Amino acid sequence: MNSLMSVSPIDTKKWYLIDAKGKTLGRLASIIATIISGRHKSTYVPNINCGDNVVVINVELVKISGKKSTQKVYRRHSGRPGSLKTETFEELQQRIPERILEKAVKGMLPKGTLGRDMYRNLKVYKGGNHPHVAQNPEVLI
């Protein structure tokens, strides 16, 4: 029997807590994507969801550089003709700041069912409170 088959990814899941206050968006998203996909582990297998869970707090205080706050545009479409909605980084940060980090991390994960399964391991919250205290998340950054 293969030694990788005996390692259960569910048994080795850990919880990490990341405070996004003052962190750069892209650098933070790449760290989170690495942890969620499990690439930081020695038991990493590309076709298995062996990553850990990540809780991110204070996401409204994430930083970006340059003129991206006014020039970066987020688009969404309902599928109906003429229903393309666009908003800048500033507008989306005022309305739903969690969506900015979620979209950045989701774009760094694999596309398909495995990526969607990995994406469920990310929990993003505005403010310093989160409901995952019982999991005893380890402070990462």
Q: Taking 60 as the threshold, does the pLDDT of residue 3 lie above it?
A: no
Residue 11, pLDDT above cutoff 70: no
Boundaries of every domain in the chain: 12-63+97-128
- CA distance readout (Å), 38 to 17, 25, 28, 49, 125: 16, 20, 16, 7, 22
Mean pLDDT, residues 67-96 taken together: 96
Query: Considering the entire predicted model, what is its pTM?
Result: 0.88
Q: Which long-range contacts (CB under 8 A, 24 or more apart) does 28-33 make?
A: 28/56, 28/62, 28/101, 28/141, 29/101, 29/104, 29/105, 29/108, 30/108, 31/140, 31/141, 32/56, 32/101, 32/105, 32/122, 33/105, 33/108, 33/109
> What CATH superfamily classification does 12-63+97-128 receive?
Ribosomal protein L13 (3.90.1180.10)
How confident is the model over 14-39, as pLDDT tens digits? 999 999 999 999 999 999 999 999 99
The pLDDT assigned to 133 comes to 95
